Amino acid sequence: MSLLRILHLVGSAQDDFYCNLSRLYAQDCLTATAERSRYDFQIAYITPDHHWRFPTSLSPEDIAVAKPMPLFEAIQFITAQNIDLVLPQMFCIPGMTNYRALFDLLKIPYIGNTPDIMAITAHKARAKAIVEAAGVKVPRGELLRQGDVPTITPPAIIKPVSSDNSLGVTLVKEATDYDAALKKAFEYASEIIVEEFIELGREVRCGIIVKDGELVGLPLEEYLLDPYEKPIRSHADKLKQTDDGNLGFAAKDNIKSWIVDPNDQITQKVQQVAKKCHQVLGCRHYSLFDFRIDPKGEPWFLEAGLYCSFAPKSVISSMAKAAGIPLNELLMMAINETLGSNKKVLQN
């Protein structure tokens, strides 16, 4: 049987932060899923100079010696490789949209959601509007541009409409704090959301995967928060900078976050809402949603994060592991959903 040729789409043409973030997760994925008896992994690495490279690994040395190529030359190279499918590992907005659309044009299938869905959910206000129309609870909010004045009475959450990892997010407790919070948020996007602060009961994430065409709710991940000392998550809870200046994963030690007992009464309620979000947003293969649980136990949709790098430290991978689905099985499920019944991966 010929090996399945998978192209890992890594890096970012936007900036060094997203380029390094992508490389961090992709390297973790490559290390953990290196079943050479089953896959032939290729790497496409895009850098902020918009050049493509095809290194043999994601080590700095191999990246440095790989030939930089403009887009037209990269397309010629890719089409000569007989790629079976692409695993997108790019987290910037161009990477989640334009670069996925390129593979639609090349008629090479890829794991994950389509560019139009990625664009909608990357804009937090649009995603909220869609799920709210389907009956999902969302915090009351308003979309502001430079010069607009918030009308929501604090406490309120200020966040850029299109940034991830809590960049530019602030909890405003007094109206006098609005100016500084708005200035911070506008550093990351030209539009921001001001939304009503939902009192803390709990905060969880829910992953949905597709298996044989059916939606499967994964165990929830809950985050350590405190209504007085730590009412919201920060950027430092998600990523950290290592001593050598590179990005690293924030500690996942079951203290800052943990998998919720599947028998917890909140699990089924959140999974039902997450499945509705998956469907109304038009997701495929997998999805991931953040929810704020108020003191009465009601889930409120915060945002969607429609990406999975299939790295052990990816949230969906951790949830799947807790459900008894090993990483390589999770990857095979996604491959099978992507390629359809005509080209199933062997399950053993």
Q: Is position 321 within any domain?
A: no
Q: Are 68 and 82 in the same domain?
A: yes
Q: What is the CATH number of the domain that holds 62?
A: 3.40.50.20
| Contact (CB, 8 A) for 197 and 157 | yes
Cis peptide leading into residue 155 (ω within 30°): yes
The proportion of the chain whose per-residue pLDDT surpasses 70, expressed as a percent, equals 90
Compute the residue count for the chain: 348
173 shares its domain with 240: no
Residue 234 scores a pLDDT above 80 = no
Q: Which domain holds residue 8?
A: 4-111
Residue 320 counted as domain residue: no
User: Comparing C-alpha atoms, which of 29, 57, 42 is closest to residue 3?
Assistant: 42
**What tens digit of pLDDT does each residue of 177-190 get?**
999 999 999 999 99
Asked whether residue 127 is domain-assigned, the answer is no
Residue 19 lies in a domain: yes
Average pLDDT over residues 247-275: 83
Q: What is the pLDDT of residue 228?
A: 76
Residue 39 belongs to a domain = yes
- Tell me whether residue 160 is in a domain: yes
Task: Determine if residue 11 is left, alpha or beta; phi over 0 gives left, psi from -120 to 50 gives alpha, anything else beta.
Answer: left
Residue 177: give its domain's CATH number: 3.30.1490.20
Residue 283 lies in a domain: yes
What is the tally of structural domains in the chain? 3
Residues 9 and 92 in one domain: yes
* Whether 177 and 271 share a structural domain: no
184 plus 206 within the same structural domain = no
pLDDT, residue 345, reads 47
Q: What is the pLDDT of residues 6-64, one digit of tens each?
A: 999 999 999 999 999 999 999 999 999 876 568 899 999 999 999 999 999 999 999 99
Assign 3-class secondary structure to the chain: CCCEEEEEEEECCCCHHHHHHHHHHHHHHHHHCCCCCCEEEEEEEECCCCCEECCCCCCHHHHHHCCCECHHHHHHHHHCCCCCEEEECCCCHHHHCHHHHHHHHCCCCECCCCHHHHHHHHCHHHHHHHHHHCCCCCCCEEEEECCCCCCCCCCEEEEECCCCCCCCCEEECCHHHHHHHHHHHHCCCCEEEEEECCCCCEEEEEEEEEECCEEEECCCEEECCECCCECCCCHHHCEEECCCCCEEECCCCCCCEEECCCCCHHHHHHHHHHHHHHHHHCCCCEEEEEEEECCCCCEEEEEECCCCCCCCCCHHHHHHHHCCCCHHHHHHHHHHHHHCHHHCCCCC
| pLDDT digits 0-9 by tens, 322-348 | 999 999 999 999 999 999 844 544 443
